[in-house]
């Protein structure tokens, strides 16, 4: 049995939802974060870089220029399928609805952009924001990506997340009650996290009416608080084999209908401090695939326990 049938992949979901592949147009909307501007905290999460996960996006361009440049790139490569406008870095619902609308509209430059994906924080979701999202959801597929990282409030304090897990529970309910798809981000290898914490996070995710998940390994990026901790020997990165084990556990124990959007994080090589194995995305995915095959693991079978 091949990898595609081992778990509910994003590519399969795109083909069944849109009838063809969907390519991501990553965008910097110029937003900030309440965990940086003093509203909730300062400095952001300890692993968050200066661009808030948008290091590879050309922020010197307008949103429309960013979208057009990437759209043109895919067209030149003769890529088949449609596109999703993905507002990636920082908190992309952290503004008044009218301001958000002005930015979102600048990205929707073509009918080929069939979806709108917005990464944000659960504490940046309210009824006014959801009302706006519902309007976009009439013409395009909309999903919100929430940076949970862990269900442990103790770990959340260590990483300076800035909100309690119950805030995520409320945000998911509000979004789903209004027909908006939700994707949750979780991270393996967070400081102080135990296997029990990770099991609890998977159980928590399963308890939510979410549609998708992104699983990341925690990597140390230059110019972050985590780099300081790493250099001071206060943090050790997750071992490659351990990460593979945790991913297999997650796949085995996640509900079958949750779409797995990704299984590994990505950091630009010139910004990555550690672990170095993080650079080889293909090797990570291949190792996961081989282990799933070898152990006959399928999403939701609940057969895999942590070694």
Query: For 60-71, what is each residue's pLDDT tens digit?
Result: 799 999 999 999
Average of pLDDT values for 96-103?
Answer: 98
Ranges 55-59, 208-212, 266-270: which has the least confidence: 55-59
Cis, peptide link before residue 275, omega less than 30° from 0: yes
Q: Are 197 and 20 in contact (CB under 8 A)?
A: no
**What is the distance between the terminal CA atoms of the chain, rounded to a whole angstrom?**
24
Place of tokens 């400081």: 191
pLDDT at 267: 87
Q: Which domains does the chain have, with CATH numbers?
A: 3-294 (3.80.30.30)
Predicted confidence band of residue 49 (pLDDT cuts 50, 70, 90)? confident
Residue among 245, 237, 282, 263 at smallest CA distance from 185: 263
266 pLDDT higher than 90:
no
253 pLDDT higher than 80:
yes
Q: Are 182 and 229 in contact (CB under 8 A)?
A: no
pLDDT at 19: 97
Place of tokens 């009824």: 127
Predicted confidence band of residue 136 (pLDDT cuts 50, 70, 90)? very high
Predicted confidence band of residue 198 (pLDDT cuts 50, 70, 90)? very high
Calculate ∠ Cα 278-216-155, nearest 5°.
115
Average of pLDDT values for 51-55?
Answer: 46
52 pLDDT higher than 60:
no
The DSSP call for residue 124 is: G
């Amino acid at each position: 049995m091949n990898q595609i049938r081992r778990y509910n992949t994003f590519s399969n979901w795109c083909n069944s939802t849109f009838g063809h592949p969907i390519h991501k147009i990553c965008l910097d909307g110029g937003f900030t974060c309440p965990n940086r501007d003093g509203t909730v905290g300062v400095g952001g999460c300890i692993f968050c870089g200066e661009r808030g996960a948008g290091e590879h996006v050309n922020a010197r361009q307008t949103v429309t220029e960013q979208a057009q440049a990437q759209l043109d790139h895919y067209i030149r490569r003769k890529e088949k399928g449609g596109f999703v406008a993905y507002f990636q870095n920082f908190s992309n619902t952290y503004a008044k609805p009218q301001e958000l609308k002005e930015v979102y509209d600048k990205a929707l430059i073509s009918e080929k952009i069939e979806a709108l994906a917005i990464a944000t924080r659960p504490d940046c979701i309210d009824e006014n924001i959801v009302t706006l999202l519902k309007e976009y959801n009439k013409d395009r597929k909309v999903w919100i990506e929430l940076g949970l990282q862990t269900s442990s409030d103790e770990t959340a304090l260590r990483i300076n997340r800035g909100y309690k897990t119950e805030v995520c529970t409320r945000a998911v309910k509000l979004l789903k009650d209004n027909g908006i798809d939700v994707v949750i981000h979780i991270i393996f290898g967070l400081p102080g996290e135990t296997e029990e914490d990770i099991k609890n996070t998977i159980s928590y995710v399963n308890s939510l009416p979410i549609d998708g998940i992104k699983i990341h390994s925690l990597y140390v990026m230059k110019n972050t608080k985590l780099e300081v901790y790493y250099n001071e020997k206060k943090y050790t990165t997750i071992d490659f084999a351990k990460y593979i084990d945790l991913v297999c556990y997650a796949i085995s124990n996640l509900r079958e209908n949750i779409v797995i959007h990704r299984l590994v994080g990505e950091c630009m090589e010139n910004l990555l401090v550690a672990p170095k194995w993080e650079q080889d995305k293909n090797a990570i995915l291949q190792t996961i695939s081989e282990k799933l095959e070898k152990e006959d693991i399928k999403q939701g079978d609940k057969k895999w326990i942590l070694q």
